[in-house]
């Protein structure tokens, strides 16, 4: 929670917490310290977002693959939804040792559990990088994290209209595109090795407030017009 809600004392503390969380991991995901011998995807959902918040996308993606990837690809599961909980040996049980829980009756374990769907939000918000910063999306942010992926895309619709974005990474360069409703204002935050971008086919030199030489980070404020826009950025 300290990572997810920005309560860590420093960036070094964020990295220490993110690293420490991995000590609970097993081959099939994170074992809950509060519920020993149980994998709880609802709680793991908070953890993957915490790793993204600490700018550790590869670690977050690793946990998604261990837990959600294991279940989605399991021929004994639904192969389309997510289980409520399971045990480190791969048994589809939940609350195996908790008093007052399911008391060992695993027939109560849900295999279509809405609380276990954290990656849906996490991948959109952190990997695609598109999030709303005001009601309805009147303001928004686009801040993708690549991890070990080469492309991502996604979107959603609010009362203001459709929001969509995506990116493709090729070598030391990547292309970022977005479409957002007219009248909205957004902030694009992305790594960049040069104080320039190619925006809609035209090279644009960035101003002093748009490119941080020390962190090699680009921050752009853009206005939505309902059209697709594309940036090519050198990493």
Q: Are residues 219 and 154 in the same domain?
A: yes
Q: For residue 1, tell me if it sits in a domain.
A: no
The contacts found for 93-102 with CB under 8 angstroms, 24 or more apart, are: 94/38, 94/40, 95/35, 95/38, 96/37, 96/38, 97/35, 97/36, 97/37, 97/38, 98/35, 98/38
Containing domain of residue 165, as a range? Answer: 129-234
Q: Are residues 152 and 110 in the same domain?
A: no
Q: What is the DSSP string of 116-158?
A: G-HHHHHIIIIII-EEESSGGGSEEEE----TT-SEEEEEEEE
Q: For residue 4, tell me if it sits in a domain.
A: no
d(CA 188, CA 222): 8
Q: Are residues 175 and 144 in the same domain?
A: yes
Along the chain (235 residues), what's the average pLDDT of each consecutive run of 10 residues?
88 94 96 90 96 97 97 94 93 71 76 94 97 97 97 98 97 97 98 96 95 95 97 97
* pLDDT at 34 (0 to 100): 86
Q: Are residues 114 and 149 in the same domain?
A: no
* pLDDT at 177 (0 to 100): 98
Q: Are residues 139 and 227 in the same domain?
A: yes
Q: Are 42 and 117 a contacting pair, CB within 8 Å?
A: no
d(CA 149, CA 152): 8
Q: For residue 2, tell me if it sits in a domain.
A: no
d(CA 127, CA 143): 8
Q: What is the CATH number of the domain that holds 164?
A: 2.60.420.10
Q: Are residues 140 and 230 in the same domain?
A: yes
Q: Are 166 and 152 a contacting pair, CB within 8 Å?
A: yes
The last residue of a domain, from among 89, 118, 147: 118
pTM, two decimal places: 0.92
Two tokens, residue 163: 């929001």
* pLDDT at 182 (0 to 100): 98
Two tokens, residue 170: 């090729």
> By CB neighbour count within 10 A (0-12 exposed, 13-18 middle, 19+ buried), where does 137 fall?
buried
Q: Are residues 36 and 65 in the same domain?
A: yes
Q: Are residues 27 and 55 in the same domain?
A: yes
Split into its structural domains, the chain has a count of 2
Q: For residue 166, tell me if it sits in a domain.
A: yes
* pLDDT at 99 (0 to 100): 56
């Amino acid at each position: 929670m300290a990572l997810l809600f920005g309560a860590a004392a420093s960036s070094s503390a964020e990295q220490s917490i993110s690293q420490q969380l991995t000590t609970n991991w097993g081959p099939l995901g994170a074992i809950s310290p509060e519920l020993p011998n149980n994998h709880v995807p609802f709680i793991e959902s908070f953890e993957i977002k915490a790793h993204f918040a600490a700018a550790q996308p590869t670690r977050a993606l690793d946990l998604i693959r261990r837990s959600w990837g294991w279940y989605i690809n399991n021929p004994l599961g639904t192969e389309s939804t997510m289980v409520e909980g399971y045990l480190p040996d791969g048994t589809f049980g939940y609350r195996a040792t908790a008093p007052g829980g399911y008391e060992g009756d695993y027939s109560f374990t849900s295999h279509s559990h809405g609380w276990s769907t954290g990656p849906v939000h996490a991948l959109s918000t952190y990997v695609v990088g598109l999030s709303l910063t005001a009601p309805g999306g009147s303001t928004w942010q686009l801040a993708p994290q690549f991890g070990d992926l080469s492309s991502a895309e996604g979107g959603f619709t609010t009362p203001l209209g459709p929001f969509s974005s995506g990116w493709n990474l090729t070598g030391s360069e990547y292309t970022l595109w977005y479409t957002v409703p007219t009248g909205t204002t957004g902030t694009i935050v992305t790594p960049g090795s040069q104080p320039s971008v190619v925006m809609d086919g035209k090279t644009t030199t960035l101003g002093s407030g748009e490119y941080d030489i020390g962190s090699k980070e680009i921050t752009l404020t853009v206005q939505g017009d309902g059209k697709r826009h594309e940036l090519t950025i050198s990493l």
